[in-house]
Amino acid sequence: MDKSEALATLLGRVPTLEPGQVWLAGAGPGDPGLLTLDALAGLTQADVIVHDALVGERVLALAGPQAELEYAGKRGGRPSAQQADISRRLIELARENKRVLRLKGGDPCMFGRGGEEAIALAEAGISFRIIPGITAGIAALSAASIPATMRGVNHAIIFATGHADGDFDWAALAKTGQPIVIYMAMRNIGNIVDQLRRGGLASNTPAAVIVSATTSEQRVLVSELARLPELVRKLGFALPGLVVIGGIVAVRERLLKLVAETEAGR
C-alpha cells in the first residue's frame, strides 16, 4: 500500500456513532492536535457532548453544528456533578436515541471514572464504546522533555493519584525506587512528600511540576523532592498540574542543555 492509499484508508474508516449509542472518549491533554481521529469523529457526529472541565474550548470548537454541549465537570467554580447523576444522564440521553459523546480529558479510564460509567451503561443495556485518549501523565512528561522511561534510569513508571482514599501506602511506592507521576497531587503535596521521604526517598530526588501541559499556559518547574511543596504553592491550584518525582526528571536538563548547545553552534 502506498502512502496516499494508506492515508485514504485511514480517513475513510471513520467509525459511526449510532443513535442510542454512547462513546466514552478521551480528548487528550489539551492540545487539539493530540485528539485521536476516533474522538474527532465522535465530536463531529454527536447530538450531545457531555464533557468535563478539562476538555478545552479549542477541542469543543470541533463539535458539529447539531451538537448540544452539556457540562459535567468538577472545576471552574461551577457546582460539581455527582457521578451517579452523570451516569443516569448518559443512559437517559441514549434512551432518547441521541448520539452521545461522553468526552473526558486525557484518557477516559485513567483517574477519570470511565470504568464506572462503562459499568453503568452496560448494566442499563446501552451500547457503548471506549475510545482511548492520550493521558496527561504521558503527554505532560513528553511535552516537558522528561522521558517516561530511559534505559539505565528506570525499568518501570508509577501513575498514582494524590486523592487516594484512606491510608495509601506512599512509602511502599518510594521503596520501588521507580519514578512516580502523581495526578491531582497539588493540594496534598506536603503530606505526600513527607510520606515519600519517610519511605526512604532522598530529599534531593529530582522532581517537577507540570501545569496545563500541551496548552499555551504550560509551565514546567523543576526542583528536588524537599522543595516540591514550595514549588506547588508558587504555581497555585487554579490550573491542572502533574507532579513527577524520580531520576527521569534530571534527563530534561541534560536534553535542554544539548539543544541549547546545538542552537548556539548554528
Ligand X SMILES: C[S@@+](CC[C@H](N)C(=O)[O-])C[C@H]1O[C@@H](n2cnc3c(N)ncnc32)[C@H](O)[C@@H]1O
- Active-site positions read 52, 74, 184
Regarding 30 and contact with ligand X (CB under 6 A), the answer is: yes
Q: Using the rule CB under 6 A, which residue among 24, 27, 39, 54 binds ligand X?
A: 54
- The window from 36-44, 62-70, 207-215, 253-261 that contacts ligand X (CB under 6 A) reads 207-215
| Residues contacting 1, CB < 8 A, separation 6+ | 9
3-state secondary structure of 76: coil
Nearer to ligand X by Cβ, of 111 and 170: the residue is: 111
Regarding 121 and contact with ligand X (CB under 6 A), the answer is: no
Residues 36/132, Cβ–Cβ less than 8 Å:
yes
Q: Using the rule CB under 6 A, which residue among 32, 212, 246, 252 binds ligand X?
A: 212
**Do the strands 127-131 and 21-26 form a parallel or antiparallel pair, or are they unpaired?**
parallel
Q: Using the rule CB under 6 A, which residue among 24, 50, 174, 242 binds ligand X?
A: 242
Q: What residue is closest to ligand X based on CB?
A: 106
Regarding 105 and contact with ligand X (CB under 6 A), the answer is: yes
**DSSP classification of residue 249:** H
Nearer to ligand X by Cβ, of 93 and 208: the residue is: 208
Task: Show the DSSP H helices in 32-113 as ranges.
Answer: 37-45, 57-60, 83-95
Regarding 73 and contact with ligand X (CB under 6 A), the answer is: no
- Other Cβ atoms less than 10 A from the Cβ of 112: the count is 21
Regarding 86 and contact with ligand X (CB under 6 A), the answer is: no
**Which among 185, 189, 174, 179 is positioned nearest to 230, based on CA atoms?**
189
Grid cell listed for 15: 467509525
Give the x-and-dash track for 125-164 against ligand X (CB under 6 A).
----------xx---x------------------------
Distance CA 26, CA 43 (A): 11
Nearer to ligand X by Cβ, of 98 and 141: the residue is: 141
Residues 97/20, Cβ–Cβ less than 8 Å:
yes
**Site residues (vs ligand X, CB under 6 A):** 29-30, 54, 104-107, 110-112, 135-136, 140, 183-184, 210-214, 240-242
